[in-house]
Chains A and B, each alone.
Chain A
């Protein structure tokens, strides 16, 4: 009797949750579907859901007309470069804070977090001016540095929370056995830290990929990543729903896939360890 009720409730939950889930996902699904239509089918009334002639021509047109691959490559370089650079700088810092904590560690961590709270628009002109004077405007190098700096606090924080979970006794034991600092980091700490570092890399790659303030304001042509490429579709000419969809699908597909792997780390990374 009790079991029957539970099973009915489970069915009800399932139906409701799937309905809500599909509703939330629908804009993405619709974009992906539209990307396979012709422009005429994309605006057909009533709308076509699955009963259209599937075509790949939009993808070809987007690549041909606007050289999509160049923007994709810029995104990869900027997001990847800033993440790698950030991790290289953050690993030693987080290691020191986690394993050699001092009275000031907490203050430094909170101060780093506070730099993340600085509204970008408040320092827009100074950065813009510095970029012009240093010849960094519209360069990938400049954006790598800026995105690295805005994400550095999150990288340090995430690594710190992961490192803190590694028991200190293991490190002490290694030290007793005569391991040098270098050996300790290389052979004891690193293997245990790899999952944490991987999660950090993943989340920060996603954040950098989707960053849309600095990438829009500090690029023009050469260094423009996908965020700027998509923004260029905001003043359309003629029929363009299907092409917009194809471009959008290509811009979000890699991150959707990476994102599904990182959903657990998302909470830790974005709440600075306050919710686990």
Chain B
């Protein structure tokens, strides 16, 4: 009877969080679905009736769709490769005995706490400005012609900025995972004469595989929806218009809500494909 009672109390305690999240998910999602089947132009005639799958077809057949997919994949892929590789190396370095480990850790993690608009603007102006930026000074120092980063090498620039923001996250998680590695196993391998590269590929990397998977999945979900970094640097110009940015422009800038909503549904489906894999890992961990 006590359990019966505590169960209903428990249900009551969960109710506010569950109801709020249910509303937060269902209401906007239903509205997005509803708009995606309509020709809806708030500033030019409003609701112009049902159009079936017209918006879905128009969104993918518009000339800006494939470039946006390409931009999205380039940014996500580029940042993932950089942050995971450098993250593993950095985590291994930070795991070594050294003086001032705590301070170095703080230095490495700091970029993660910088708000996206600040890091984008600081990079854009103080580092990537073709006249006064620090990189331009550096280029001139070595006798090279300064680069107009955000217009000539726009994709590289965005990937650099976002990688700088996310490297700390990858490093921190991989460092946590490395620290749980049994050091006796490594020492035994060393005693048996296994060279460093072999130790890395046969002991360290397999041990990190789960953490790397988690880093990739979580970062993918966040990277698919980066916004501020593009908003304040290129504004979607020079080939940096990602899917997220394209939808934002359709919805708020050109106020073509039907079309933008269809794009939104695509974005939701895309994110869910990634999310399913992440949820499996997290779910397994819950049972343990």
Contacts and interface: CB of A to CB of B under 8 A. Distances in A.
Report if A and B associate in a common complex.
Answer: yes
Interface string B237-263: 000000010011001100001001100
A245 B126 contact: yes
Contacts of A248: 118, 121-122
Contacts of A92: 13-14, 16-17
B50 interface: no
Interface in B65-83: none
B33 to A, nearest CB: 10
Nearest to B168: A24
A116 to B, nearest CB: 8
A93 interface: yes
Contact of A118 (B124, B271, B278, B287): B271
Nearest to B213: A274
A207 to B, nearest CB: 10
Interface string A95-122: 1110110100010111011110111111
B181 interface: no
Given A14-B98, A47-B137, A206-B113, A181 B9 contact: yes
A22 interface: yes
Contacts of A259: 109-110, 112-113
Interface in B194-248: 210-211, 214, 218, 221, 224-225, 227-228, 231-233, 244, 247-248
Interface residues of B, number: 103
A237 to B, nearest CB: 13
A14 B103 CA distance: 11
B59 interface: no
Contacts, number: 304
B173 A231 contact: no
A226 interface: yes
A47 B131 CA distance: 12
A192 interface: no
Nearest to A149: B24
B31 A255 contact: no
B267 interface: yes
A274 B214 contact: yes
Given A28-B110, A227-B115, A256-B113, A263 B105 contact: yes
Interface residues of A, number: 96
Q: Interface centre among A9, A126, A210, by most B CB within 10 Å?
A: A126
A241 B132 contact: yes
B118 A251 contact: yes
A275 B126 contact: no
Contact of B28 (A106, A123, A274): A123
29 contacts: A21-B104, A24-B167, A27-B119, A28-B111, A28-B114, A30-B126, A31-B126, A47-B137, A95-B13, A117-B221, A118-B25, A119-B224, A126-B35, A128-B252, A152-B20, A152-B21, A153-B21, A217-B248, A230-B115, A230-B121, A231-B121, A231-B228, A231-B232, A234-B124, A241-B132, A251-B118, A266-B112, A272-B282, A274-B214
Interface of A: 6, 9-10, 13-14, 16-18, 20-22, 24-25, 27-28, 30-31, 34, 43, 45-47, 89-90, 92-93, 95-97, 99-100, 102, 106, 108-110, 112-115, 117-130, 149, 152-153, 156, 181, 206, 209-210, 212-213, 216-217, 226-228, 230-231, 233-234, 236, 240-241, 244-245, 248, 251-252, 255-256, 258-260, 263, 266-267, 270-276
